[in-house]
Structure 1
Amino acid sequence: MPPPTVDPWLASRRFGVVIDAGSSGSRLQIYSWKDPRAIQATEDAQVLSSLPTVEKGTREGDSWVAKVEPGLSSFADGPSGVAAYLAPLLEHARTQVPPSLQPETPLFLLATAGMRLLQPMQQAELLQETCIFLKRHSHFRIEDRSPAGPCGSSVRIITGEEEGLFGWIAVNYLMDGFKGSDEELTTYGFLDMGGASTQIAFEPSRQEREKSHDLMDVRLRLLGGQEIHHKVFVTTWLGYGTNQARERYVGKAISEYEANRDPPFGPEKEIADPCLPKQLSLTEYPVQPPASSSHSKKPHTLVGTGSFEQCLQQTAPLLNKDAPCAELPCPFNGVHVPTIDFSVSHFIGVSEYWYSSEHVFGLGGPYDVVQYERAASEFCSRDWSDILDEHQRSRQNGTLGGDGELLANGTVVSTGHWGDDVETSRLQMQCFKAAWIVNILHEGIGLPRIVDVGGNVTTEGEAVAQKAKDKGLGRPQFQSMDSVGDIAISWTLGKMVLEASKEVPPLSDSTPPIVDPIDDIPNTAHPTIKPIRPPFLDFDAIEDQISGHLPSSLTRHSLGFSPVGFIFYLFTVILFITTIYRLRHRIRSTVRRCARRKDRDYIALNYSMEEGHAFSSGLSTPSRPPSPPRTIFHFINPFRRASSFGSRNPHPASIVITSPVLRSGQSSPTHVSPHRSPLFTPSDFPSGVPGSPHFYTASLVSNGSVASLTSRSRNSSRMDLTSFATKQTIPRTSTAMM
């Protein structure tokens, strides 16, 4: 029987699994790479000077990706549904990664925009349910609990800045941006735009790096063990994604219309909107209107006029370039960004930059502002009915093209070629999104407008890039991309490149391990990025859940403080006072015992002197009898009693024991607490004369009160104490002395 053959592709292969828990769905992606230790033993120096090669987690096909809908954040009110939601993704990962490699395969679930919008307590509950499910139903490598979360860094919510950093790593990994000497800065900048926010991440010039204090340290390890370091600036503009920018635009348009309406209370008319194609009519609900009047909060009808130039002008104020700036320069909305040298820093845009360029205009790739604006102007000026008809025909034909036009050698040969992936909502908002992207690029971050008179006559991005090269402009300053080869540009890829880099053995044992950039932030008062850590108790979040059941006068907005927090602290104080009250007798007894210790020693000394038993070394304080050892239960008992709250009798019956003989045939009862043994027993008493220090100390303890002893006369005390001893013949010398 021939020996089993080893699959060359699986030999020394490592895997990594990451789940991107977005707002609309969760996408699982499986990546793989060769074990760096195996490569170090076989490859040449050229390979060792590069990063590990991260590939798809399957040899062929698209089974390295799986997706479920809706987003994880949709289970905020029912965390118990997380298990059934994630089960298909986890099962898919188990079928693709060999079982023998699963214990050493890291699995991450990193949540983004949707989870960031939840209340902290909702975030904590979802992360806890997710962690429990992944740990109990898989053998993948998942971290233990840490300050980062219930499963450490394996299950957590990442910030927009972290997305930008991981995206920056992915872009430069795919574009060979990490190759080259430190003197030749070749890294690409990264731009990402979604519906809610937009991010930028880039490595400033050497001069700017020396002046900047808010840069992130990105460390990666090459296959040879050498480390590369890059100082990267990253920031996020919340509310500057295409969807939220549109909401602000609609609110501003409605407010301006209401402010200028004549007469003020006349019938409402349609509002002209240059950012919609001609004759497109939409009823818009102002999500973010200024509180100028009640009319501005009602839905209004906007009708498109299809003017891209006017749309550019009316959306530019939304950048809020006049906002206060704490540290110059601030491109827009008062957010500081180091000066960008576009002759050195070249940017790649993903997500909305790609969709708004390629899906309708067919202009994805190297960016030419003249060609882009011309395509946008032609699209916006078309009648909506014509656009809609062509969209229907393109769905039937299933063909692809540019902005509804099929070009051959620069000539339009057919129309109606939008693909199936272009939705009607995309066509409705295309004019606005195109204008918003142009303003972000040029009026926002300051990308120069390189004007080519007449523009380009081709929509092929590579032709545009070649033309720029022919003119000596070098590589494009900006280009939109979706993938390189068969690998999509995604922040998840950047995360896996970082994980593969962590597995490369360092050149020295003293070299610190590679960590995520957010874990390399110095512990300062104002960190560059604040990681998202749902708190254990969040009173505002708890109150938000019950605010609907509270009168308006009891909300934190009316009171000026959180009533839930006040109740919590009040309960804590009441619990503390109750505990002290239950322990009051024990505390008072302890204080008295400490205060009377010196009195007992003094009285014992007086009786010793009275009986004629002075110490040979002069008058000195007799030593106390050794205290019995105290166990931990001696200190716990009072708290156990305090926590009983009436479950037991607080004053249990005393136990009666017999004291030493007073007279022949007589004994005296002594009451001792049932919770502890008496301090001394008859066997502890010395059999010597009544003047013994041990004898008198035991008598004081059994009597239970110093005051009762001192209230007697000295003669009667002497008689009682003398008769308290066992029967012995008292020497005459002692009697004579008395």
Structure 2
Amino acid sequence: FHRITLSCLPASWYCSVSLLSLGCAPRQRLLLLLLLLITSAFLLLETYQRQLWGTQRRSGTQINKYLSLTESMEATDILNPSLNYGIVVDCGSSGSRVFVYYWPPHNGNPHTLLDIRQMRDRSRNTVVKKIKPGISTLATTPTQASDYLHPLLSFAAAHVPKNKHKETPLYILCTAGMRLLPESQQADIIEDLVTDVPLEFDFLFSRSHVEVISGKQEGVYAWIGINFVLGRFDHPDEEDATVEVTTSSQNQQPISRRRTVGIMDMGGASLQIAYEVPSAITFNSPQEEEAGKSFLAEFNLGCDVEHTQHVYRVYVTTFLGFGGNMARQRYEDQLFNSTFTKNRYLTTQTGLSKDKPYLDSCLPVGLSETIVRDNRTLHLRGQGDWTKCQEAVRPFLGLHNGTMSPRGVYQAPINFSNSEFYGFSEFYYCMEDVLRIGGQYNSEKYSKASMDYCSTQWSTLKQRLENHLYSKQADDSRLKYQCFKSAWVYEVLHSGFRFPTDYPNLKTAQLVYDKEVQWTLGAILYKTRFLPLRDLQQEALRQNHPSWLRSSFVYNHHLFSLCILVVVLAILLYILRLRRIHQREQRQAEVLNLLWVEEGEALLP
């Protein structure tokens, strides 16, 4: 007795086929069993192929990561309906810029961030536009703020597909220039933007999308952007350096993940540093804890606050006056005041004329320079002694109890045995423009190159510049102050931030993967971090409503095909059975008719 039952449909539907009850002949039973075995084998083969394809896709993840870098340099496919867009306006002190970003649909893994890239037009140029002056110049005319940004927003609107405007978030983030304004003037400018921008543009925009960000936020966004482009938020591969991370969550076990990079950025006026602090910090006193926490930012880049895979604790601070140009200005101010004070008390004439110049160890040999303050002039002559220059600039770090700044700014510990840093702006210019050793930092090589440069005659340096032996960015100003800036950068690294002289993991760079990384990329990554969760919840809702659909034939066409096959076979067998019954009844009727005929003939006389 053979019975095959298939519960491949919802509970109220089922297929039950009894081979004996259908009156099948042994050959027909064997044929039906053979068909079912072939169908089952087909389903098993299909399942195996899917698993094999999934393995191949996982093994190709590394290749796809590098392919995505190439794809990000191509023109954005605005005809692709699945792409999402976002706009960030950076309102700086000297001008404002708009950046347009895009990203494909999220891959469904809650531990993976959105793959956000900067949009490129048909000519493969990044979609960015800048206007001058800064928005802070509208402090007395705040009602013109929306008109001021109109060219930038129109530019962005022309590049984002029209049918995507309503779902494209717009963020207007203001930095240093606006921070200098009184809060009342800041509020007036923001109010005008919140009121008037939605009247002309239908982007996803609200009051929370306009913000005057702090220097700390700007530093965190820059750190996020650099690490995102470098792929440090991805899951680690076998060859990647990792760190053990502890979060502030209670009963949370340490997690191992890819090591992030710290960043140092020295501009003309300020110096900024930002790096992850993987381990919990032990403070020596409540005062130190209070001061330290003001420089620490802990945030979750993941889409679910319950998961700590992307919780980061970052130390970030800005040192005003520690940029290359401002440091030189502070040095000259001190040089000017101290020299004139000594002249007054010692009745000397140092620096008052070209014949008796002050010998400046931080200028190249033979260079004549002047410092003018309050209609008084101090004459300098380059001495070109890099070692003395180091000693001269070190006091301007304001070291206090082993930390940088006269205020005793707290510095979170750095694990120099398992960390990595990138130096941008002056760190790169100082090592590359004339020394030509940008890239991997080596303190011994850097010291020797700086010492040789400082001790070179000014006339020789000028001749080298005219012969184009330096980078295209090098000019007279760079040549004049290279000796000072090289000593300043060295002291900032090794005396200020206390990097060991044999530290192997510092790189100086201007671009990352041949492109400039803006803090706005980190901003939109942080602002849109919950969007994947929204997509995942919508997908889960679609799959769970109604619940029985998930296990039904609608979501498994192979199972559905099998059910159809069985039903068709059952119908065919039923038809064959009816046909046999009909034929048997016909034969029985013929036999009865024949018997009636024979009996009738027998009864006839």
Global fold match (TM > 0.5): yes
Q: Within the alignment, does 1:492 sit opposite 2:579 as a pair?
A: no
2:297 is the counterpart of 1:221:
no
TM-aligned CA deviation for residue 446 of structure 1: 0.7
Larger Rg: 1
Please state if 1:339 is matched with 2:413. yes
* Distance change in 2, residues 1:440/1:266 (3 Å): closer
When normalised by structure 2's length, the TM-score is 0.63
Matched, 1:434 2:486: yes
| Residues 99-178 of structure 1 aligned to structure 2 (within 5 Å) | 99-131=162-194, 134-144=197-207, 152=208, 154-178=209-233
After TM superposition, list the pairs within 5 Å mapping 1:534-549 onto structure 2: none
Root mean square deviation, CA, Å: 3.4
| Aligned match of 2:118 | 56
Counterparts in 2 of 1:77 and 1:55: CA distance versus 1, 3 Å: same
Kindly report which structure 2 residues correspond to 1:407-422, keeping only aligned pairs within 5 A, or say none.
Answer: 417-419=470-472, 421-422=473-474
Which residue of structure 2 aligns with residue 370 of structure 1? Answer: 444
In the alignment, which of 365, 374, 385 is matched to residue 278 of structure 1? Answer: 365
Residue 321 (str. 1) matches residue 399 (str. 2) = yes
Corresponding letter in the other structure for 1:363: I
| Aligned equivalent of 2:328, options 239, 246, 255 | 246
Deviation at 1:78, TM superposition (A): 5.6
Does structure 1 retain, via aligned residues, the 8 Å contact 2:78–2:161? no
1:359 aligns with 2:387: no
Letter paired with 1:259: T
Q: Assess, with a 3 A threshold, how the Cα gap between structure 1 residues 53 and 84 changes in structure 2: closer, same or farther.
A: same
1:22 aligned residue:
92
What secondary structure is seen at the aligned counterpart in 1 of 2:281? helix
Task: Find out whether 1:187 has 2:240 as its counterpart.
Answer: no
Instruction: Specify the alignment match of 2:496 in structure 1.
Output: 444
Deviation track 1:103-135 (CA, whole Å, cap 9, x = no partner) reads: 222222322233333444554454455555644
Runs of 5+ consecutive residues of structure 1 not aligned to the other structure:
1-5, 145-151, 287-294, 395-403, 405-416, 451-472, 510-738
The 8 Å contact of residues 422 and 508 in structure 2, kept in 1 or not, is answered as yes
Counterpart amino acid of 1:198? Answer: L
1:57 is displaced (CA, Å) by: 1.2
The answer to which structure has the higher helix fraction is 2
Tell whether the 8 Å contact from 1:171 to 1:348 is kept in structure 2 after alignment. no
Distance 1:225 1:248 in 2: 49
Give the letter for the 2:227 counterpart. Answer: N
Q: Give the partner amino acid of 2:436.
A: G
- Amino acid paired to 2:274: A
* Structure 2 CA distance for aligned equivalents of residues 28 and 20 of structure 1: 6
Contact conserved, 1:188 with 1:202, CA < 8 A, in 2?
A: yes
Structure 2 distance, partners of 1:221, 1:427, is 47
2:384 aligned to which of 277, 282, 306: 306
Given the two structures, how large is their TM-score scaled by the length of structure 1? 0.52
Query: What secondary structure, in the 3-state scheme, does the structure 2 residue paired with 1:206 have?
Result: coil
Q: Which residue of 2 aligns with 1:12?
A: 82
Structure 2: where are the runs of 5+ without partners?
1-75, 237-241, 243-254, 538-605
Distance 2:316 2:160 in 1: 34
SS in 1 for 2:427: helix
Separation in structure 2 between the aligned mates of residue 200 and residue 490 of structure 1, nearest angstrom: 15
Look up the match of 1:259: 341
The 3 A distance-change label for structure 1 pair 222 and 118 is closer
Deviates more, 1:423-432 or 1:228-237: 423-432
Q: Offset of 1:207 from its aligned partner?
A: 4.7
Mapped pair 1:477 → 2:505? yes
TM-aligned CA distance change 1:90 to 1:7, over 3 Å:
closer
Measured after TM superposition, the shift of residue 247 of structure 1 is: 2.0
Residue from 228, 253, 274 that aligns with 1:201: 274
2:536 & 2:437 partners in 1: Cα distance? Answer: 49
Cα distance per residue 1:396-425 (max 9 Å; x no partner) = xxxxxxxx3xxxxxxxxxxxx421x34443
Q: Which has the larger displacement, 196-205 or 129-138? A: 129-138
Residue 70 of structure 1, CA deviation: 3.5
The one-letter code of the counterpart of 1:57 is M
> Once the 2 structures are TM-superposed, how far is the Cα of residue 343 of structure 1 from its aligned partner?
0.9
Determine what percentage of the aligned residue pairs are the same residue.
Answer: 32
